[in-house]
Amino acid sequence: MTDAAHHIDLAVIPGDGIGPEVTAEAVKVLLAAVGNAVDVALTEYELGAEHWLATGETLPDATLERLRSHDAILFGAVGAAPGDTRIPSGLIEREFLLKLRFSLDHFVNLRPSRLYPGVPSPLAAPGTIDFVVVREGTEGPYTGNGGTLRGGTPHEVATEVSLNTAHGVERVVRDAFVRASGRRKKLTLVHKHNVLVYAGHLWKRTVEAVAADFPDVSHDYLHVDAAMIFLVTDPSRFDVIVTDNLFGDIVTDLAAAVSGGIGLAASANLNMDRTAPSMFEPVHGSAPDIAGRQVADPTAAILSAALLLRHLGHDAPAERIEQAVEQDIAARSGARSTSAVGDAIAAAVS
């Protein structure tokens, strides 16, 4: 057996707000699930809005290089409260989080949605939601191409350019087809090519071209606005959704809401070429409105740890976590603290 079968060199970035609270539970459960079978070396990094306030650092290049040396990164969330005027809006999101995702080439942002048995959904019936969103993670409108001309004047012009490359679109579309092939064999491209014609047509042409290599997978297309109707009225029609960085961000918060809440939604930022560590984090943000009160649901972070273990080839402990989460969710009755949820799931996987 290789050393990778027994050892994980894990970077942990708890971040801001509820990030440290939910990440502590994810680490607790991960360690309990692997037990003595895998030696996990943890290195914690203080990064995020609070760190910037204390030091003026977002993501120094030296820190990025240290992060690059780990097997994987477990991340909580970063960001200040929307009204916090001490921190320029977008600074931490762009100069820490997006810099990290782009630098480590996390081109597949995988966000599974499943309505677990026992979870009350505002809209969907049990068993009707089981799809994954494959969100492009390194391009789109999040690349920071843009600017302001004549800022603050009545003639101000603000741009935010969406970058879509043939290479970037092809690799994520191909990944989505591979995933669809291993699932219910249905891929839906979500975009807005009736208005965003240049990017939209590149995505559509790419899906048509890659589809030829996957004759077992059927594919269709929905404009993003109509897709949101079906996500609410008929989520069972989706198996694999592939979409760009911005649409994927929005689609997956709605997907989380209809499948039991943002506290259950896990994600993986994957470098599928394995040229750098992948990063695992809940879909949600730092939730400043509930931070520090031990009321956040750590399930999304815990399920993200399971995705991490799977990515590194530790399928058995990942499976234990997923089953324990499913049982924990099914048995929920009253309110529990963040750490009580983590304790219960950790006990179940030990």
Ligand X SMILES: NC(=O)C1=CN([C@@H]2O[C@H](COP(=O)(O)OP(=O)(O)OC[C@H]3O[C@@H](n4cnc5c(N)ncnc54)[C@H](O)[C@@H]3O)[C@@H](O)[C@H]2O)C=CC1
- Which residue number, 206 or 278, has a Cβ lying nearer to ligand X? 278
Residue 30 CB, nearest approach to ligand X (Å)? 17
| 98 touches, from Mg ion, ligand COI, ligand X, none (C-beta below 5 to 8 Å by class) | ligand COI
Is 162 annotated in some ligand binding site? Answer: no
Whole-number Å distance between alpha carbons of 134 and 294? 31
Under the binding rule (CB under 6 A), the answer on residue 251 touching ligand X is no
Short-list 258, 323, 283, 282, CA closest to 119: 258
Short-list 79, 75, 81, CA closest to 100: 75
For residue 303, what is the enclosing H or E element? helix 299-311
- Residue ranges binding Mg ion (CB under 5 A): 249
Residue 112 CB, nearest approach to ligand X (Å)? 16
To 10 degrees, what angle do helices 315-330 and 299-311 make? 160
Under the binding rule (CB under 6 A), the answer on residue 14 touching ligand X is no
Partners of residue 268 on adjacent β-strands: 110, 280
- Residue ranges binding ligand COI (CB under 6 A): 93, 97-98, 249, 283
Residue 305, Cβ density class (10 Å: 0-12 exposed, 13-18 middle, ≥19 buried): buried
C-alpha count within 13 angstroms, C-beta hemisphere, residue 316:
8
Amino acid at 230: F
- Which residue number, 16 or 328, has a Cβ lying nearer to Mg ion? 16
List the one residue from 136, 139, 281, 328 that touches ligand X (CB under 6 A).
281
Is 84 annotated in some ligand binding site? Answer: no
Is 295 annotated in some ligand binding site? Answer: yes
To 10 degrees, what angle do helices 19-34 and 338-349 make? 10
Task: Give the active site residues.
Answer: 142, 192, 225, 249, 253
Residue 131 CB, nearest approach to ligand COI (Å)? 17
Residue 234, Cβ density class (10 Å: 0-12 exposed, 13-18 middle, ≥19 buried): exposed
Interface stretch with ligand X, choices 130-138, 184-192, 294-302, 320-328 (CB under 6 A): 294-302
- Which residue number, 93 or 130, has a Cβ lying nearer to ligand X? 93
Interface stretch with ligand X, choices 136-144, 196-204, 221-229, 284-292 (CB under 6 A): 284-292
Write out the residues near ligand X by the rule CB under 6 A. Answer: 18, 22, 77-80, 93, 97, 262-263, 281, 284-290, 296-297, 300
